[in-house]
Structure 1
Amino acid sequence: MQESNYYLKIGEHIKELRQKQNMTKTQLADGICSISYITRIEKGERCPTSVILRQITNKLGITPEYLFRAIESPGSLQVKELIDELYINVERHDFKNIYKLITETELDVKSIHDIQVIKMFKCFSMTMLNENYQWGMDEIKKLLDLTYTEGKNPTDTEFGLMLLYGFFLSLNNENEKAYTHLLNMKKYISHMNFLHSHAIIPRFYMHLICVCLDISKLKESSKYLDYSIDYCKKHNTHVILPELYFLKSELYYHLKKDREFKIWYNEALRLYKLIKHSDDEYFNTFVQDRLKKLKTS
């Protein structure tokens, strides 16, 4: 009975969304399945396969996750909206707004996955704002312990937590440990079937490149730079390109190629001005900190 009710809820939501968009069953079924299949889904007589559900929700302009959250409760949809907004701010490294969103939004969060994601972002913002990297690493370990089992392939959230741990290691001037940790993570990338944001991949490589440059692994950094710049262009994650372009200029500085250094440095600044999304000064701080390292190296 419970299973039947679940099918019915899926069907009710699909029918409601279809009708809101003035879409006929014929239009929804076109290229996906038969009209009778849609009818059975909407009546709760049939639960669509994962492939058909993905095609149906895509045509309706939503994701399967959105549909399942809508079935669960309106509160679950509000949590999803918050998480989506947090991911956007994380891509921009807008730590102040991340902290503001989390502390000023009152939601009833029940899913352990949602709790883990929100606490991850809160830890990230507090660590960066307070510059207490050891505290951040300790918190990351606790959050990973909620779901992660040593040796298994991580989810995108668990991968994000591992990435933050490596990032905090580097900010805590533990570059060799950061390099070993990040390099060990690289094997998981090909096994990650779901990514909430494609930005996590070039962001991972960006942190690995920084560490490689700091410990003079120039050949490695060059390889990762080419890959991550290409990845950003293919997956529309241009927000990270200014940092990668700057790191490309830094690589040429280490290689004593002054002309190439200036070209890529100016390109990084130009691109940053074109795609800047907020008043957050992360990029400027990032560049100034890296330049200071170059002058003292």
Structure 2
Amino acid sequence: MQEQNYYLKIGQIIKELREKQNMTKTQLADGICSISYITRIEKGERCPTSVILRQITNKLGISPEHLFRAIESSTSLHVKELLDQIFLYIERHDFKNIYELIKSKKEELHVTSIHDLQIIKGLECFSYSILNQNYQWGINEVKNILKLTYANKSTPTDMEFALMSMHGVLLLFSNQKKEAYNYLISIKKYIHNINLLHTRFILPRFYVYLISASLDTCNLKDCFEYLDYAINYCKDYNTHYTLRELYFLKSELYYRLKKEKKFKLWYGKALRLHELIKRSDDEYFNTFIQNRLNQLK
């Protein structure tokens, strides 16, 4: 009976989303399955396979996670909306808005998922520690939050990996550059084993800090490999806010290698991309560049 109710909920939500978009069953089924199969799903008589479910949700403009959260509760769906907004701010490196958003919303949402609580609390602490330059406090808090779910030496989830990355970033910001480099290198091995990414910013953002730590500690040997991988990833998944930082870091690498022409080429690319995508309140990139240039003097 419980399984039938689950199927019915999936069908009801798919039907509501389809009708809301004025989409016929024929249009939804096209290229995916038969019209009769869609009818049976919407009536709760069939549960779609994972492949068909992903195709249906893609056509409806949502993720499978969105659908499952809608089935779970409206509160869970609101949490997903909050996380999506937080991730957008993270890509822009906008920690002030992250902290203020979490502070204003967390009490009313009644978050019940341990993983949702983990990432929301982790980002709240991370943002607070950066805004107040209280990095050691942030390191300790992030480590404790990670311990809620992570088993040592196991492959982390994407959110656990994000928390690990925060630890490395805070080491870097606290001027513990060698420790930051060693820690970030130690967790790099997990990247290709993470099966599901809730947001595409996690990997290129990790590489920005790994490359920064590599440059700061004069570990230049593998920087081109890191840069090429991260730049291609950003292009493939349209994470352009991070791409401009990677362009600048590539220019910095050429500067350190005393290749002036290539330094100017990639520095120019970083500035041109910034002009294309910058927002009126976007000061982070200028600050990022200025801080990096100051270290080269």
CA distance in 1, matches of 2:4, 2:259: 68
* Equivalent residues of 2:17, 2:60 under 8 A apart: yes
CA distance in 2, matches of 1:226, 1:38: 43
Q: Displacement of 1:126 after TM fit?
A: 0.6
Tell me which moved more, 143-152 or 280-289: 280-289
Question: Partner of 2:154: helix, strand, or coil?
Answer: coil
- The answer to whether residue 57 in structure 2 is matched with residue 73 in structure 1 is no
Question: Partner of 1:219: helix, strand, or coil?
Answer: coil
CA distance in 1, matches of 2:277, 2:181: 30
**Root-mean-square deviation (Å):** 1.6
Picking from 224, 230, 233, the partner of 1:231 is 233
* Equivalent residues of 2:119, 2:163 under 8 A apart: no
- The answer to whether residue 176 in structure 2 is matched with residue 174 in structure 1 is yes
Q: Which residue of 2 aligns with 1:17?
A: 17
CA distance in 1, matches of 2:237, 2:266: 21
CA distance in 1, matches of 2:9, 2:268: 55
CA distance in 2, matches of 1:23, 1:293: 56
Q: Which residue of 2 aligns with 1:274?
A: 276
CA distance in 2, matches of 1:42, 1:126: 45
CA distance in 2, matches of 1:18, 1:289: 49
Question: Partner of 2:26: helix, strand, or coil?
Answer: helix
Letter in 1 for 2:195: N
Q: TM-score, normalised by structure 1?
A: 0.94
Q: Displacement of 1:292 after TM fit?
A: 1.9
Q: Displacement of 1:130 after TM fit?
A: 0.7
CA distance in 2, matches of 1:179, 1:204: 12
CA distance in 2, matches of 1:160, 1:68: 23
| Post-superposition CA distance 1:39-60 (Å, at most 9, x none) | 2222222211111111111222
Letter in 2 for 1:201: L
Q: Which residue of 1 aligns with 2:26?
A: 26
Alignment of 1:218-297 (within 5 A): 218-295=220-297
CA distance in 1, matches of 2:219, 2:237: 27
Query: CA separation of 1:249/1:22 partners in 2, compared to 1, >3 Å: closer, same or farther?
Result: closer
Query: CA separation of 1:38/1:61 partners in 2, compared to 1, >3 Å: closer, same or farther?
Result: same
Query: CA separation of 1:181/1:31 partners in 2, compared to 1, >3 Å: closer, same or farther?
Result: same
Q: Displacement of 1:207 after TM fit?
A: 0.7
Q: Displacement of 1:280 after TM fit?
A: 3.7
Q: TM-score, normalised by structure 2?
A: 0.94
Q: Displacement of 1:173 after TM fit?
A: 1.9
Alignment of 1:19-98 (within 5 A): 19-98=19-98
Letter in 2 for 1:288: Q
* Equivalent residues of 1:92, 1:277 under 8 A apart: no
| Post-superposition CA distance 1:39-87 (Å, at most 9, x none) | 2222222211111111111222222111111122222221111110110
Unaligned runs of at least 5 residues, structure 2: none
- The answer to whether residue 190 in structure 2 is matched with residue 160 in structure 1 is no
CA distance in 2, matches of 1:252, 1:280: 26
Tell me which moved more, 249-258 or 89-98: 249-258
Q: Displacement of 1:169 after TM fit?
A: 1.1
Query: CA separation of 1:17/1:212 partners in 2, compared to 1, >3 Å: closer, same or farther?
Result: same
CA distance in 1, matches of 2:282, 2:95: 8
Moved over 6 A (4+): none
